[in-house]
Each structure stands twice: as C-alpha cells, then as structure tokens.
Amino acid sequence: MNANEERIWKPYTFKSGMEVRNRLFMAPMTNYSSNPDGSIHEDEITYYRRRSQGVGAVVTAVAHVTPGGQGFDGQVGVDRDALIPGLSRVAEAIKSGGAKAILQIFHAGRLSRPHLVPDGDITAPSNIPAESRGMPGPTPRELTTVEIEEIIEAFGKATVRAIKAGFDGVEIHGANGYLIQQFFSPHANRKNDKYGGTLEKRMTFSLAVIDSVQKAVSEHADEPFIVGYRFSPEEPDTPGITMAETLPFIDVLAEKDLDYLHVSLGEFWSKARRGADSDRTRIDLLLEQINNRVPLVSVGSIRTSEDAFKAMQSGVDFLALGRALVIDPEWVEKTKEGKYSEIETVLDLHAKDRLDIPERFWKVILSVPGWFPGVN
C-alpha cells in the first residue's frame, strides 16, 4: 500500500476537535424519500445505516431551513422543532456504523418549487429567473432585507435543531445554484446594497450564514461539532461566478474557522472554465489558494478504488462518494480489504431491495438515463 492509499485510512481531527476515522465521506445526495411534511421516512433510516459502516462521515441529503426554501419533492426538513425526533433517528442510524453524522442545510432560493412553498412564493436575491437548458424558470420575488435577515437566523435555528437531534455537525450548502450561491452569483444577485454589487458585498450573505451557524454552535453544543461549507467554483451563466471570483472568496472562507470546505464538482479532474489558468484543474487551483489553512473535501465521479487512490495524489484531504455508495454500500469496506474486483460499479437494476435503496429514490434513478451507470 503506497502513501496515498495509506492516507485514505488515516484518522483526522478537525479544528472543532471532532475526529473521523478515515478520509472518506458519503456525499450529500437528494434521495426524494422523506414524507410530504418533511419528516423522515423509514426507508431513509435503513438507507443511511447501511452506508455508514465504512466511511468517516455521512453528509445527509439537504434539509431546508424554512418552508419557503424547499427545492425537491420528498425533501427532509429542519425548519421546525417537530422534525427533531425523526432527524434524531437518522443521526443515530449513521453513528451506529461508526461514521460521523453531518446534516446538510440549505434554502433553494429561485430553485424552490412553486408547489412546495407557501403560496408558490419563490424568492431570491433579485427577480432574475434561473435558466435550464436555455429556458428560464419561474421569476422569483426579490427578498426584502428583513426576509434576508430572517433566513440567516433560520440557518442558526436549524443548527440548534441538528445539535438537539444528535448530529455531529452541519454542512452549509452554498453550492449547486441554491440561495447561498445565488447571493454570491453576479447572475442571480443584481442588488446594490450591503448584500450585492461588489464582489465583497456578494460574499456578505454567505459569511452571515456562517456566523449564524457558528454562533448557534458556540451557544448550544456541549461537545465538538463540525461546521463545513460546500461551494461550486464556477457557473456556466453569463454573467456568472468564475474562478477569478471564487479564489478570493476561498481566501475569506479559509479564515472563518470552518472545519472543512467541500467543493462540488461533476468530475474530479475538471479544469477551470474561465477566470484562471484553464490548463490547470480546479482542485489544483483551490489547493494552492487554500494553502493548508482548511481541509478540502472533493466529490466528482469517484467510482473505483483506483479512482480514489489517484484522486488522493492531488493533495485533497477528503473524498466524498455519492453514486458509488448507492451502487455498492460496501464500497469502503471492500476497498480497505483490497477486494477491488468485488466492487460493483454498475447499478444492478434488479437489486433495489438488496441495496436498501428507498422506493421513491429508486424510481427517480430509473427515470434519469445516464445518471447512474447501468441506467440507459
């Protein structure tokens, strides 16, 4: 076993004092399986318990912090105290396998679904619709300053609920085009006040959310508690986030006493699109900018053990596995035992029950050709 292979299995103690047993995360992946009221479905408990046996930490599917922030059917909520008992069962299931339980929290902003939010009232930094495949989505209503401050506070309240539910941490979802990213994006944010205009002002909302979460932790957590932040380094939109804007943002985030940063990538080895040297990978550029100030977690189509060992050579601190763990819940154990040939990398279309995949998640997987290997 070479040095990079060995490093995957090396424990790590975060700044908060929380230790994880290895450098592998289960990546957050929407499973569409919660009940219509945002409460946990029994299938989710089984799904997470099965996949918590080998990884160092499990980051859950994203939970909305306000009723108006729902982005998916079957999405779990953390917007009210009544949901704490169900969330507690998820945390317990994850921790039973030896993994740390991290609840991902967000607000979908202009990507919220009209039929899920009160009165169909979709809100965002500005009244600029999102675009998908060249077509504009619903036009959102611009948030007022009071509403912005209420959402910031809601992230703190959600963190308190995560603490009460027994989670080991939260991951602030500032990626994938949702509200936090929308405030940073020159496409979604056309404001000219303290929350928008200059690059620095477009960082304001993100930093305020981090402060709200960290304040909740300092006041309510009696034990070490992880706070991570997920981001997308670039946007395809014009105007949109470029590496030229992300890199100085990373500088600021690296000084926020976060336990980790989590870069959301579709492909681990993808190169910069614009705003930086397009001959270099995003990972390389980010690691250079971070300069060992905060651990970096990366996701991005890591499917085989060889993929993981190669990715660790980049210098990242952690790898997050998404589809790989859906396809093979024992991916980590098989890799650690050197049983590389036994790892399943193509979804068995007859194995829903064997793999403990929730019924609703299974239906979505089968309805999206190409999302999972084996689904055509």
CA diameter of the chain = 57
Which of 178, 195, 229, 260 is catalytic? The answer is 178
Backbone angles phi, psi at 203, to 5 degrees: -85, -15
How far is it, in rounded angstroms, from Cα 246 to Cα 150? 26
Helix and strand tally (H, E) in the chain? 13, 15
- Token reading at 302: 């890591």
Paired tokens of 293: 């100030």
Question: Of 298, 354, 345, which is closest to residue 325 (Cα–Cα)?
Answer: 345
**CA 264 to CA 121: how far, in whole Å?**
28
Q: How far is CA 340 from CA 223, 305, 345, in A?
A: 37, 7, 11
Q: Is 178 a known active-site residue?
A: yes
Tell me the C-alpha distance between 209 and 187, whole Å: 20
Q: Looking at the annotation, which residues are catalytic?
A: 178
